[in-house]
Amino acid sequence: MEVSIRTPLTYEKIKNLRAGDRILLSGTIYTARDAAHKRLIELLDKNLDLPININNETIYYVGPSPAKEGEVIGSAGPTTSYRMDSYSPRLLDLGLKGMIGKGARNQEVIDSIIKNKAIYLGAIGGAAALISKSITKSEIIAYEDLGAEAIRKMEIKDMPLIVIIDTEGNNLYKQGQEQYLKTVIKEWNRNEKIKGWKRLLVNLPRKQCVSRLWLK
């Protein structure tokens, strides 16, 4: 079962989510990879303001490819999250509530997630095209010189995610459920294929496709 949640995230919205839960996230999120994170921490070290207010916000670890004509954004699959581990606790202490990426986090990040009642969500690796479809708007708001690693503000609708580390520190990876992740990915991919076939069959003339009967 999937739970629909809108940003900005708050503790009230995420407190009942547990590692392994599937969610469909909608609203505003921000993108930032390691280069952007490094600059954010440098600003904090100098007691300067960040280019975004991260309180109750969500950061997606992604460096999207250029958009093709007619598309909002190009491929937008997740970046491996450990690259941000040395920076994340500082941002969590400032109110960052959600992180989206792939892969495990170190113990310092996990402890900070528990301390700040935040959440770490896993984007579906290998499903970059599906993720891109959930992004309805994207604009660079900081560090344009970083190219793909610039900070972007994104509007998303029903982005499919999995809770990896919940507010209590329950960790999907440590629960030995890697196989569960593979099952979920396979299920989502299968559902997308079925939807594609249904759209194709619906558009065929009835006399050319007796198989349309199973759509009813």
d(CA 5, CA 159): 10
**Residue of 37, 39, 102, 105 marked active site:** 37
104 carries an active-site annotation: no
Q: Which pair of structure tokens corresponds to residue 71?
A: 């598309």
d(CA 57, CA 7): 7
CB 179 within 8 A of CB 172: no
CB 115 within 8 A of CB 168: no
- Residue 199 burial by Cβ neighbours in a 10 Å radius (0-12, 13-18, 19+): exposed
Residue 153, SS3 per DSSP = strand
Catalytic residues: 37
